[in-house]
Amino acid sequence: MTPLIWAIAALAQPSNIIAFLAIAGAVALSVGWRRAGLFACGLAAVGLVVFGFLPTGALVLRALENRFPQPALPGHVDGIIVLGGYLDTVVTAERGRPELLEAADRIVAVADLAHRYPGVPIVLSGGNKFEPRTGHAVPEAESAAEIARSIGIDPARLVLETGSRSTWENATASMAIVRPGLGSTWLLVTSAAHMPRAVGTFRAAGWPGLVPWPVDYRVPEGADLWLRRPDALAGLAATDAATREIEALIAYRLAGRSSALLPAP
């Protein structure tokens, strides 16, 4: 992700748009532009209700998470691919130890899968994503390998892909390293909401024999989200996460980097 794309994506988050509207409305009111100020503040208030207090984001996020149900594990696989996005590479570099993010279920799943499928290679895919913070980041795959070794996984099984900065690069760079053959079976491990984009991307890259293994669910499957206690911060966080995935699905499809707009099993 380039700095420009990173900035655009950050500005396009619903939570940021609501905040900008509220600030713009307050500024407009302070300089006497009453109509414009009230309009901007009104939009911000509506946005806060719709995307914060109501379960709008959670409903979309749940639909993405349920797109690829967790299947029965096959009796044999040729390898396991784990996509990055679960480590803070900057803090890891500064603190000298791996620091996990919300998507840590991705690496946790490896502990179970490694024991279920002894001896198969485990591809840890993840480089340095652009982040405008001070510090020298280390490739995510290197820190992930440190975690994998600490939980008893044989280092000889680990295949590190350290150059990718996006899902597309995860797919193409990993494929260039392991060169999966026709008829092979590979488990693809990533967050459930990210799985549609990941599968579409790996299919577009020509990766054969993928078995999606979604983890890191954020939304309860059977709960009535309309009856949950209103939480504006949680609602906005879910909306932002869902928006990022929807935007990325559209962008990847337009760029020819996904096999479908909304890939299906």
Whether residue 100 lies inside any domain: the answer is yes
Do 58 and 105 fall within a single domain? no
CATH number at residue 120: 3.40.50.620
Residue matched to tokens 């979604």: 214
Do 83 and 211 fall within a single domain? yes
How confident is the model over 139-149, as pLDDT tens digits? 899 999 999 99
Number of domains in the chain: 2
How confident is the model over 63-104, as pLDDT tens digits? 999 999 999 999 999 999 999 999 988 888 888 888 899 999
27-41, 89-103, 109-123, 205-219: segment of lowest average pLDDT:
89-103
* Cross-strand bridge partners of residue 122: 80, 158
pLDDT of residue 134: 47
For residue 225, what are the CA distances in angstroms to 98, 120, 208, 211, 229? 34, 40, 37, 30, 9
Do 61 and 85 fall within a single domain? no
* Cross-strand bridge partners of residue 191: 215
Per 3-state DSSP, what percentage of the chain is helix, strand, and coil (rounded to 5)?
A: 55, 10, 35
| Rounded CA separation 144/158 (Å) | 10
Whether residue 259 lies inside any domain: the answer is no
Whether residue 106 lies inside any domain: the answer is yes
Give the structural domain span for 248: 3-65+229-254
How distant is the alpha carbon of residue 208 from its chain centre?
A: 22
pLDDT of residue 231: 87
How confident is the model over 152-198, as pLDDT tens digits? 999 999 999 998 989 999 999 999 999 998 889 999 999 999 999 99
Which helix (H) or strand (E) covers residue 187, if one does? strand 186-191
Is the model's pLDDT at 232 over the cut of 80?
yes
Whether residue 19 lies inside any domain: the answer is yes
Whether residue 222 lies inside any domain: the answer is no
Do 151 and 47 fall within a single domain? no
Do 85 and 175 fall within a single domain? yes
Do 209 and 84 fall within a single domain? yes
